Structure 1
Amino acid sequence: MHASDSKVTLRLMTERDLPMLHEWLNRPHIVEWWGGEDERPTLDEVLRHYMPRVLSEASVTAYIAMLGDEPIGYAQSYVALRSGDGWWADETDPGVRGIDQSLADPAQLNKGLGTMLVRALTSMLFSDPTVTKIQTDPAPHNHRAIRCYEKAGFVQQKVVTTPDGPAVYMVQTREAFERSCSAT
């Protein structure tokens, strides 16, 4: 299936998805940006860390991105306020959500699917009237991700230091999202 054949949708991740997620998280194009070679997760680690119950306790919601009936990636959103472990300690707005995502198949990179995924996730999150802003934090040298976020309406704010190292802090506000929706 090609990007032009369908749109990217999101469904909640279930426990049945965890073996597939484990396999995805160990693919070289994902390992490069999610932890590196030394952090390749075992299946037991994925089961412990990504179990929907565990994620909900951390205010994280996990999704499987779908292109038609085909699972093509992973996405997650989280409440930035009090996310802990050194993340977003200065955040005071309970309406801010953070996002992360990845496409599973390296052959699907550079085809617009990442932008479609980010737009679907952003639209879904902003359907909740309490969400005020969505943020993300790609590595400064992850030019593909930065461009994807920009095409999806995110704006670079600054380089920040996170527990994972330097990151480009990018945001999309509700106002900018609504303006872009009314312009189309």
Structure 2
Amino acid sequence: WGGEEARPTLADVQEQYLPSVLAQESVTPYIAMLNGEPIGYAQSYVALGSGDGRWEEETDPGVRGIDQLLANASQLGKGLGTKLVRALVELLFNDPEVTKIQTDPSPSNLRAIRCYEKAGFERQGTVTTPYGPAVYMVQTRQ
């Protein structure tokens, strides 16, 4: 994601992602909750064949991609993003077929990069995506 400057509204997220989530079996949406209130959105997807010019060289059907965001800027910097990512990673690795989890934040989104690092992801380098350059980060099954 593009960082705080590019923070979408809930309506933006629904407009952009809901049609593809409903149309594709390979995308799994999640709503992050805190004390019974929704605080964010996350999604996981099968990287192989995900389309849109992404992960075209991927050959392993066990690789999952993830994206996430917190809805309220006032909740940033409190560790909630890291907890969300750790919970999502744990959930995904409960599936024995999942071999690796990857994500690709914008190089300018230092907050997201640090969040993923704290959640156990390692930087692999910079990749080119349909949305521009991204930091390719992975976590493999241990």
Bigger share in helix: 1
**Equivalent residue, structure 2, for 1:13:** none
Aligned CA distance change for structure 1 residues 58 and 162 (closer, same or farther; 3 Å): farther
TM-score normalised by L of structure 2: 0.89
User: 5 Å matches for 1:77-116?
Assistant: 77-116=44-83
2:22 matches 1:53: yes
String of CA shifts for 1:143-181, please: whole Å, max 9, x gaps.
000000000000000100000100000000002xxxxxx
The answer as to whether partners of 2:10 and 2:71 remain within 8 angstroms in 1 is no
Q: What one-letter code is carried by the residue in structure 2 that aligns with 1:121?
A: L
Unaligned runs of 5+ in 2: none
Q: Does 1:131 align with 2:98?
A: yes
Cα distance in 2, alignment partners of residues 112 and 48 from structure 1: 27
Counterparts of 1:42 and 1:145 in 2: how far apart (Å)? 22
Residue matched to 2:116: 149
Summarize deviations over 1:2-59 as a string: whole Å, max 9, x none. xxxxxxxxxxxxxxxxxxxxxxxxxx93x6156xxxxx7967x9358415532xx251
| Counterpart for residue 6 of structure 2 | 32
> Percent of aligned pairs with the same residue?
65
Q: Assess if the C-alpha contact under 8 Å between 1:138 and 1:145 holds in 2.
A: yes
Aligned counterparts of 1:159 and 1:147: Cα–Cα separation in 2: 15
CA offsets per residue over residues 59-88 of structure 1, 9 Å max, x none? 100000011211110000000001111100
Structure having the higher Rg: 1
Unaligned runs of 5+ in 1: 1-27, 35-39, 176-184
The one-letter amino acid of 2:137's match is M
SS at match of 2:97: coil
SS in 1 for 2:68: strand
In structure 1, what residue type is equivalent to 2:131?
A: D
Could you tell me whether the CA contact under 8 Å between 1:102 and 1:114 is conserved in 2?
yes
Aligned to 1:9: none
Higher relative contact order (CA 8 A, sep 6+): 2
What is the distance in 2 between the residues matched to 1:124 and 1:72?
18
TM-score of the two chains, using structure 1 as the length reference:
0.70
Report the Cα distance in structure 2 between the residues aligned to 1:76 and 1:172, rounded to whole angstroms.
Answer: 16
> Structure 1 counterpart of 2:81, which letter?
G
Shift of 1:94: 0.2
Is the CA contact 2:92–2:98 (under 8 Å) kept in the aligned structure 1?
yes
Give RMSD over aligned pairs.
2.2
